[in-house]
Structure 1
Amino acid sequence: MSLQDNVAIVTGASAGIGEATARALAREGANVALAARRRERLEEIADDIEATSDVETLVVPTDVRDEAEVEAMVETTVETFGRLDVLVNNAGLGVGGDVAETTSEEYRLMMETNVDGVFFATQAAVPHLRETEGNLVFVGSFAGQYPRPANPIYAATKWWVRGFAHSVEGQIGPDGIGVSVVNPTEVRTEFASESGETFEERFEPGEVTEPEEIAEAIAFAASQDNSTVHEIDLYRRDKFAEW
């Protein structure tokens, strides 16, 4: 299990789980394409990765809601590095909450990011992953496995992600592609809760899962040569005490 000289794309790489994943993959020897909308932040992260790891990076500003931009993200990566071994579908967001109060704009934003963006990236990457017998990793959620009364629409997008990922796994697994889903609960990032405050603001260090913990699980899944890590759940230890 090694990522040495592999090429990986990480969406949502400008912060949180995505940033931590880009760093984790680089530590394992992968050249990394960092995709998100914030170019300046991506460039800062890329420069730091190259300064601390013996790998190359590529900054590909991308709005995953835009199919053409996603296609360009994949093609630019392959043109630059000559191959693609790993795609990490991480970009996602959660807005709104109460169904009666969620606006149509908030609904569309979640669907276009969490569903359409995952489809566009997967579709563009699969032909290249077939060539390398690479790994496709989806960042799911606890909310994609259990009801989330505080935000049913967000939960539905994550149920979609898991259903899509495992069905794709059945379709392309025979081609030698590994497909994994990593499901966190609350992670201390700038991801916003239904209350409007971010999880960084809501939780103290060590109180819930840190991005680096999720990144290590993603790196483990992405480094498989012959096997597939079907699904990894990373829940804080007191999660079920709420139920």
Structure 2
Amino acid sequence: MAAIEKLLNVALPPLSFLLLSTFMLPFLLFKILLYVRKLVAHTEENLEHKVVLITGAASGIGEQLAYAYARRGALLSLVDIRKNKLVAVADKAKSLGSPDVTIISADVSKLQDCHRFVDHTVNHFGRLDCLVNNAGIARTSRFKDWNNNGSEFTSIMDVNFWGSVYGSLCAIPHLKSSKGRIIVISSTLGWFPIPNSSIYNASKAALINYFETLRMELGKAIGITIVTPGLVKTDLGFATTHKAKFMGIIPMLSASELAESIVKSACRGDMYLTEPSWVKILFPWKVLFPQVVDWAVRFFFGLPSKGNNSRNKVHSATELKPE
């Protein structure tokens, strides 16, 4: 076994590089042809009277998604823990063209609530065509600011990760019947993390991993579109820019622009959507030059060098040990 491992360590890197070099050009040409075909055909899924369930629909990206789907004549089921704010969103969605909107107060981190809002939607409309897992929360904090048990951060994972998992598991039987789609709102921070948001970053990375796995297991039964936005003009986006002065110069996408892109991408059947598209250039840097990325992030966020911070790391780790 040791000899096989050594052989793989020596042979696989150059072989993989050769295969990637050979495969890249034909694949890019294939992608270009598909893009041109979409432009020429200019076909978009007809969403009239399709049933779309959106979590976290009371504000931000979820609210704008409700309006984007409403303009296309979709039937809407809007879910949020803040039901009083859903009323105004539902009224506007109807005025924009949605034939019918139902609103549900629910906590996505509770499995029984997820069963309830999915059942309510199907009972009300008779079907479910699309589930948009948008509900999410965040808290910005550095490692050194944690308390001894970190319990104040568990809600981030409960809502951001388990909320999407629970809702999807409840919706899958209905989405299989309609050959529907799941849209999950992750984040660029799921694959390009920045300081001050470790648990939020982790929850978004978990979303990407889970739904990529789910896509493999489901095959073509249900489409899955994973969305990884950059900075968006929402409360969370503004909170992120305030943590580092240099981030204030980065262009932010409006929630309404993002919502339109998400709906169009889902209608095309895309596996992934990253907006704004220039953010994609960060991915190869992260994969190929992790040391450079680590240094650059530390520099721009004003973090100490690794050598100067080693004593603080030991001290912080000791503080976090359970009593």
Aligned partner of residue 232 in structure 1, secondary structure = strand
Question: Which amino acid letter does the alignment assign opposite residue 185 of structure 1?
Answer: G
1:121 alignment partner, one of 167, 171, 189: 167
Further displaced range: 107-116 or 97-106 = 97-106
2:274 alignment partner, one of 205, 227, 233: 233
5 Å-filtered alignment, 1:179-194, equals: 179-191=224-236
Further displaced range: 105-114 or 187-196 = 187-196
Please list the CA deviations of residues 142-168 of structure 1 after superposition, one character each: whole Å capped at 9, or x if unmatched. 101112222111111101000111111
Please list the CA deviations of residues 30-69 of structure 1 after superposition, one character each: whole Å capped at 9, or x if unmatched. 1011101111110111011112314210101111111111
> Is the 8 Å Cα contact of residues 64 and 117 (structure 1) preserved in structure 2?
yes
What is the CA–CA distance in structure 1 between the aligned matches of 2:191 and 2:240, rounded to whole Å?
22
5 Å-filtered alignment, 1:72-151, equals: 72-103=116-147, 104-151=150-197
5 Å-filtered alignment, 1:56-75, equals: 56-75=100-119
Further displaced range: 210-219 or 69-78 = 210-219
Aligned partner of residue 191 in structure 1, secondary structure = helix
What is the CA–CA distance in structure 1 between the aligned matches of 2:119 and 2:226, rounded to whole Å?
24
Q: Could you say which structure has the higher helix fraction?
A: 2
Query: For structure 1, which runs of at least 5 residues remain unmatched after alignment?
Result: none
Number of residue equivalences: 235
The equivalent of 2:318 in structure 1 is: none
Aligned partner of residue 208 in structure 1, secondary structure = coil
Taking a change above 3 Å as real, the CA distance of residues 193 and 150 of structure 1, as seen in their structure-2 partners, is: farther
Aligned partner of residue 29 in structure 1, secondary structure = coil
Please list the CA deviations of residues 99-123 of structure 1 after superposition, one character each: whole Å capped at 9, or x if unmatched. 2313423321101111111111010
Taking a change above 3 Å as real, the CA distance of residues 39 and 50 of structure 1, as seen in their structure-2 partners, is: same
The answer to whether residue 88 in structure 2 is matched with residue 47 in structure 1 is: no
> Is the 8 Å Cα contact of residues 70 and 96 (structure 2) preserved in structure 1?
no
Taking a change above 3 Å as real, the CA distance of residues 150 and 62 of structure 1, as seen in their structure-2 partners, is: same
What is the CA–CA distance in structure 2 between the aligned matches of 1:195 and 1:87, rounded to whole Å?
27
What is the CA–CA distance in structure 2 between the aligned matches of 1:77 and 1:179, rounded to whole Å?
20
Instruction: Compare CA radii of gyration and give the structure with the larger one.
Output: 2
The answer to whether residue 62 in structure 2 is matched with residue 21 in structure 1 is: no
> Is the 8 Å Cα contact of residues 231 and 251 (structure 2) preserved in structure 1?
no
Which runs of 4 or more aligned residues in structure 1 lie more than 4 Å from their structure 2 counterparts after TM superposition? 192-198, 236-240
Percent of residue pairs bearing the same amino acid type = 28
Which fold has the larger relative contact order, with Cα–Cα distance below 8 Å and residues 6 or more apart in sequence?
1
> Is the 8 Å Cα contact of residues 46 and 57 (structure 1) preserved in structure 2?
yes
1:10 alignment partner, one of 54, 75, 90: 54
The equivalent of 2:27 in structure 1 is: none
What is the CA–CA distance in structure 2 between the aligned matches of 1:51 and 1:94, rounded to whole Å?
31
The equivalent of 2:260 in structure 1 is: 216
Question: Which amino acid letter does the alignment assign opposite residue 233 of structure 1?
Answer: T
The answer to whether residue 199 in structure 2 is matched with residue 158 in structure 1 is: no
What is the CA–CA distance in structure 2 between the aligned matches of 1:194 and 1:86, rounded to whole Å?
30
Taking a change above 3 Å as real, the CA distance of residues 71 and 106 of structure 1, as seen in their structure-2 partners, is: same
What is the CA–CA distance in structure 1 between the aligned matches of 2:240 and 2:173, rounded to whole Å?
41
> Is the 8 Å Cα contact of residues 96 and 106 (structure 1) preserved in structure 2?
no
Taking a change above 3 Å as real, the CA distance of residues 112 and 196 of structure 1, as seen in their structure-2 partners, is: farther
The equivalent of 1:32 in structure 2 is: 76
Question: Which amino acid letter does the alignment assign opposite residue 86 of structure 1?
Answer: C
> Is the 8 Å Cα contact of residues 143 and 196 (structure 2) preserved in structure 1?
no
> Is the 8 Å Cα contact of residues 114 and 158 (structure 1) preserved in structure 2?
yes
